[in-house]
Structure 1
Amino acid sequence: MKLKRLVFLLVLAFVLTFVAACSEKGTEQSSGTETPKDEEKVLNFTNLEAIPSMDPSLATDESSFVYLAATMEGLYRLDASAKPVEGIALNHEVSEDGLTWTFHLREDAFWENGDPVTANDFVYAWRRAVDPATGSEYGPYMMNGVIKNASKVSAGELAPEELGVYADGDYTLVVELENPTAYFESLTTFGTFLPLNEAFVEEQGDKFATSSDTLLANGPYTMENWESTSNSWELVKNDKYWDASTVQMDKLTFQVVKEVQTAVDLYEEGTVDRVDLTSDLVDLYSTDDNYQITPDTFVYYIKFNQTTNEALANKNIRAALSRAYDKEALVDEILNNGSLVANGIVPADFTPLPDTGEDFREVSGDLVTYDLEKAKEFWQKGLDELGTDAVEIELLTDDDDTTKLMVEYIANQLETNLTGLSVNIKQVPKEQRLDLDSKMDFEAQVTRWGPDFLDPYTYMNLFVTDSGNNKMGYSNPKYDELVFATASELATDNAARYQNFLQAEKILFEDAAIAPIYQSSRAQLVSPKVQGVHINPFGPTYEYKWAYVGSEE
């Protein structure tokens, strides 16, 4: 079990090294020794859903980025301390003005098919991610305002070839930035910045990344026995990987199990080696030697689509909904896994202020709390403005067990506390929810966000006007101004950037744009066999490169 204080100290240490704020959640550890070399080394896991996408340009969710990280490698990779270490890049240089980054690539990295990994693979992939024709959400989100010309390329005002990235020979990649970006090195570890083999991608066409046969790995593992609708798949050691000697696992297997009790039964019989627990099982297993609570930086919240429901376009109605459910009871009784109440969007123990070292969440404070009296006041104001005494909303959610319990609780609280409200729950598989979100085909939605890099910008940029991850019709020019300034004129003044973030977060909740629910933790049973699986504070939740099998004795 990892203590929150330890997490914070590791965060602070990483901040001092990389300027941008960060955190550390550690590594799954327990006593044991490695499996004898003559035995096949296999670990078995469950997944809550099918993998939505294995296309680095199109992936937007936790599961996708976990398996992209396992099968591919970018310029750098996060180690056990969440620090970037050598990937395809051996090292890099930054110009004095902070605008030009030159990466020197290794010459012993190869694709699964034997092709060398070159600087041109990064150029092609990054251009593809911001090309409007690709339809990427993360390409513009991650690169706009960071890489030179990305905003204009993603808006269709410039050709993708004008993006500030080019190859200086096969093994030197040059990146030009719009502004100095303190966290750019950590950005390069993220899935959107992975390289792609142009010839292979173009040959596959629309079939690219839809099955094992249409994927091409350059990372620790290859993906086997997978199709886009698969409920099981395998990661198999990639012998073509430049650092294959470090990879100790022969195979990792995964199967989709949405019912937690079913997953626990599989764990008890030794079929799988790690499971997440729901609240009803925490008390049963909390004294088990293999029980762990791992803090997360995921924040769950309700997003209100202001374009599809007249009531949700009303700020008072949104403000009422945001305050009408008891979050403390939710985390203590429904979740019961160490999760924390969320009263803002930037999580606790994630980013200390650079000038004082105080935690961002503590300084920003509780911006929207459970307050039944205020909720009813806002509700009545909203109803009066709408000229009605009844409101009906549809709440879109994932269909796993934990989400089902949480959403049923929230819906019941809302209907009980706000007279005249009807909440219709729409549960769908995660992949379908993401598709409906992308199309803005929902009214209210329970979603979550985990950081993609080590800076508050990873949360605050979600809600700027027309952001690829906004998808709810929210727009506030002052909010946009504050957030954009952190990546432009204030780019080199980290203390001032954080003051902007603090102001912007307050505006977000004054507008009742979203309703925060909780900051998650994972209550798990983890077999002592599972060794060397790093848990990242941002990007892919799990890092499997350094996994190995320990003794269960």
Structure 2
Amino acid sequence: MKKTNWLLLVLALVLSMFLAACSGGSDDTSNSTDDAETEDTSSEDDAAAGDSEQVLNITDSAEIPTMDASLATDAVAFQWLGSTTDGLYRLGENAQPEPGIAKDHEVSEDGLTWTFNLREDAVWSNGDPVTANDFVFAWQRAVNPDTGSEYGPYMMGGIIKNAQAIVDGEVPVEELGVKAEDDHTLVVELEKPVPYFESLTTFGTFLPMNQAFVEEHGDQYALEADTLLSNGPFVLTEWNHGEGWTLEKNEDYWDAENVKLEKINVKVVKETSTAVNLYDTGEIDRAGLSAEFVDQYRTSDDFVIDEEPTLFYLKMNQENEVLANVNARKAIQMVIDRQAMVDVILNNGSIPSAGHIPQNFTKHPETEEDFRELNGDLIETNVEKAQELWAKAKEELGQDEIELGYLGGDTEVALNMDAYIKDQLEQLEGLTVKVQSVPFKERLARDEAMDYDIQNSGWGPDYIDPNTFLNMFVTDGGNNKTGYSSEEYDGLIEKANTELAQKPVERFETFLEAEKMLIQEDAVLAPLYQRAKARLWKPYVKGVIAQPMGPDFTYKYAYIEGK
């Protein structure tokens, strides 16, 4: 979510998401905030920072597309928004919400009214107090059609009272179900009970904004370091677009005593070989590894590999005549050898994906069985059957020779992945694939405009629930961007989130049915793999917490020990 809109793609897997959160469309190189981002190096006790210089040096594979929380859609943006801004809650250990600006909250018996009690010692980096109105303003701004937010409608529509009606222009933005009862009491009304709402408040779209500051800077807001405000652990003090950025400890942060790092230096590096060289020479503290480096460093004490609940897949634009044909889409699903892709192209612990819910992400509420295990593999690699389906599609279309565009990334690992997938797809008789390699920010824009035929995309969760993956593809959903529309599919997702909202078993089983329709029956996506990250990490870096949603990492508790 992150949006993750995640438009993603990688070898070493740098992402997003968002992913995927994030979330939103992304390529696997950019869906993580670094070529192969962090592991959970969360540690002993951050009391032992000692006399070591508290500076973390890392890389990112892409420029920050935006630092405007209303407009952010990818993992890169959400990483640094989450590092500089506290929402009501923030993610701590084991992806559990911990107090941010909210000290605590109460929920009404019917689950529709949430009252958040805000701390009185939180301030913005310009000295203004953080108040309940900062949340009211930011949430209203996110759903206001004039803002042009993608995630505001997606994350709040059908959740916050009147959000969808505001998006549809039916009621004024002031009718959003959020109000400041006083400076330190925020009352939120929901459309329906939402079991995961507390974790949802940790997501970047729900971050507060200082109204006076935003309005003062107008269309220049959040474009430079000096047109940003922070209320979180770090302040973005330098932003050299396309090159990198610097964060420094926020001395006025309400919990500054628990922040040990004094500075985080981030350099934009797209080539894995460059990042590895910087790591080996001691210039950076973390480097993502692409396939050709994994075997070289696998025995190193610095080598780490972690599985993530982040999925990559091919999006197929059904506004294209060929891709509107379900047999063509099923052929594309079946022709790709996903096992060879993860073994040879990625070589970093990633696993083939055959659905749209990752393994080890969510379990049946009664039996505790994993969602992925219960639904099994919804697609197979079968080149012979793929050719049969492709031949049938060509007959239905009246075409023998077909050319499709493929929207890919411009990083080293993205180029390798794109070349592999092009080769796999062109096994289909008469198909020519034209790869277009563009920067991450352009990929986000082209996904939003549906300016693609096939796109390698990715998604990481915005909260721990199957809905974060399956709700994406409802008709006209903010992160759908495939042209897919099914009343039956929409009905399943609606049912799961309304009449079954407080019936966990039936709700879970409805999501199982919806995933089968999305992948197996309607072939909306061609699943590729579930990401793992292979990387090198300096052992003196402690206390970094890897997260499955929102920011890839929490740096609030990180420190350097014994360097």
Contact 1:145 1:488 survives alignment (8 Å): no
SS of residue paired to 1:288: coil
Cα distance in 1 for partners of 2:528, 2:52 equals 46
Provide the residue aligned with 1:493 in structure 2.
503
Query: Looking at both structures, which has the greater relative contact order when contacts are Cα pairs under 8 Å and sequence separation is at least 6?
Result: 2
Does 2:185 correspond to 1:200?
no
Provide the residue aligned with 1:268 in structure 2.
280
Q: 1:207 to 1:127 in 2, by over 3 A?
A: same
Of 433, 439, 446 in structure 2, the residue corresponding to residue 429 of structure 1 is 439
Provide the residue aligned with 1:351 in structure 2.
362
Cα distance in 1 for partners of 2:345, 2:177 equals 48
Paired residue type of 1:478: E
Provide the residue aligned with 1:254 in structure 2.
266
1:23-62 aligned at under 5 Å gives the runs 27-29=40-42, 40-62=53-75
Provide the residue aligned with 2:406 in structure 1.
395
Provide the residue aligned with 2:313 in structure 1.
301
Paired residue type of 1:263: A
Cα distance in 1 for partners of 2:479, 2:50 equals 46
* Deviations 1:421-474, CA, capped at 9 Å, x for gaps: 001111111110000001111111101000000101100111000001011211
Contact 2:43 2:543 survives alignment (8 Å): no
Does 2:356 correspond to 1:341?
no
Provide the residue aligned with 1:529 in structure 2.
540
Cα distance in 1 for partners of 2:117, 2:302 equals 43
Deviation at 1:230, TM superposition (A): 3.4
Paired residue type of 1:481: G
Of 513, 520, 523 in structure 2, the residue corresponding to residue 512 of structure 1 is 523
Of 363, 368, 371 in structure 1, the residue corresponding to residue 374 of structure 2 is 363
Deviation at 1:278, TM superposition (A): 0.4
Cα distance in 2 for partners of 1:191, 1:164 equals 19
Q: 1:177 to 1:268 in 2, by over 3 A?
A: same
Cα distance in 2 for partners of 1:400, 1:181 equals 39
Paired residue type of 1:401: E
Q: 1:36 to 1:184 in 2, by over 3 A?
A: closer
Provide the residue aligned with 1:17 in structure 2.
none
Deviation at 1:356, TM superposition (A): 1.1
Larger displacement relative to structure 2 (54-63 or 25-34):
25-34
Total equivalences in the alignment:
525
Cα distance in 2 for partners of 1:365, 1:37 equals 50
Cα distance in 2 for partners of 1:413, 1:303 equals 16
Cα distance in 1 for partners of 2:323, 2:243 equals 36
Cα distance in 2 for partners of 1:518, 1:300 equals 5
Deviation at 1:37, TM superposition (A): 5.2
Paired residue type of 1:539: G
Cα distance in 2 for partners of 1:517, 1:427 equals 19
Of 449, 455, 461 in structure 1, the residue corresponding to residue 459 of structure 2 is 449
Paired residue type of 1:292: V
* Deviations 1:71-123, CA, capped at 9 Å, x for gaps: 00000011122111110000000000000000000000000000000000000
- Tell me the TM-score normalised to structure 2 length: 0.91
Paired residue type of 2:321: E
Deviation at 1:141, TM superposition (A): 0.9
Provide the residue aligned with 2:248 in structure 1.
236
Paired residue type of 2:408: T
Name the Cα RMSD after superposition.
1.4
Cα distance in 2 for partners of 1:26, 1:255 equals 19
Does 2:469 correspond to 1:469?
no
Provide the residue aligned with 2:133 in structure 1.
120
Cα distance in 1 for partners of 2:104, 2:377 equals 42
Gaps of 5+ in 2: 1-37
Cα distance in 2 for partners of 1:517, 1:531 equals 33
Cα distance in 2 for partners of 1:530, 1:477 equals 50
Provide the residue aligned with 2:113 in structure 1.
100
Paired residue type of 1:185: E
Does 2:92 correspond to 1:82?
no
Contact 1:395 1:445 survives alignment (8 Å): yes
Contact 1:32 1:529 survives alignment (8 Å): no
SS of residue paired to 2:198: helix
Paired residue type of 2:232: G
Cα distance in 2 for partners of 1:359, 1:32 equals 33
Deviation at 1:294, TM superposition (A): 1.2
Of 358, 376, 380 in structure 1, the residue corresponding to residue 387 of structure 2 is 376
Does 2:328 correspond to 1:317?
yes
Cα distance in 2 for partners of 1:551, 1:397 equals 41
Paired residue type of 1:236: E
Paired residue type of 1:345: H
Paired residue type of 1:101: W
Gaps of 5+ in 1: 1-24
Paired residue type of 1:347: P
Provide the residue aligned with 2:292 in structure 1.
280
Cα distance in 2 for partners of 1:34, 1:174 equals 37
Cα distance in 1 for partners of 2:488, 2:243 equals 45
Which consecutive segments of 4 or more residues in structure 1 shift more than 4 A? 29-39
Deviation at 1:348, TM superposition (A): 0.5
Q: 1:175 to 1:397 in 2, by over 3 A?
A: same
Cα distance in 1 for partners of 2:453, 2:206 equals 32
Cα distance in 2 for partners of 1:306, 1:38 equals 58
Deviation at 1:373, TM superposition (A): 1.8
Q: 1:242 to 1:31 in 2, by over 3 A?
A: closer
Cα distance in 1 for partners of 2:163, 2:382 equals 43
Cα distance in 1 for partners of 2:230, 2:243 equals 21
Deviation at 1:389, TM superposition (A): 0.9
* Deviations 1:364-414, CA, capped at 9 Å, x for gaps: 111112111221111001000011111110110121222211111111011
Paired residue type of 1:69: G
Q: 1:33 to 1:184 in 2, by over 3 A?
A: closer
Cα distance in 2 for partners of 1:266, 1:26 equals 19
Provide the residue aligned with 1:151 in structure 2.
164
Larger displacement relative to structure 2 (490-499 or 95-104):
490-499
Contact 1:220 1:238 survives alignment (8 Å): yes
Of 216, 227, 239 in structure 1, the residue corresponding to residue 229 of structure 2 is 216
Deviation at 1:274, TM superposition (A): 0.3
Deviation at 1:33, TM superposition (A): 8.4
Provide the residue aligned with 2:27 in structure 1.
none
Deviation at 1:27, TM superposition (A): 2.1
Cα distance in 1 for partners of 2:139, 2:389 equals 46
Paired residue type of 1:187: L
Q: 1:406 to 1:100 in 2, by over 3 A?
A: same
Deviation at 1:63, TM superposition (A): 0.6
Paired residue type of 1:105: L
- Tell me the TM-score normalised to structure 1 length: 0.93
Cα distance in 2 for partners of 1:295, 1:39 equals 31
Contact 1:46 1:263 survives alignment (8 Å): yes
Contact 1:146 1:487 survives alignment (8 Å): no
SS of residue paired to 1:453: coil
Cα distance in 1 for partners of 2:553, 2:49 equals 24
Deviation at 1:40, TM superposition (A): 3.6
1:165-176 aligned at under 5 Å gives the runs 165-176=178-189
Provide the residue aligned with 1:8 in structure 2.
none
Cα distance in 1 for partners of 2:268, 2:299 equals 27
Paired residue type of 2:435: I
Q: 1:491 to 1:31 in 2, by over 3 A?
A: closer
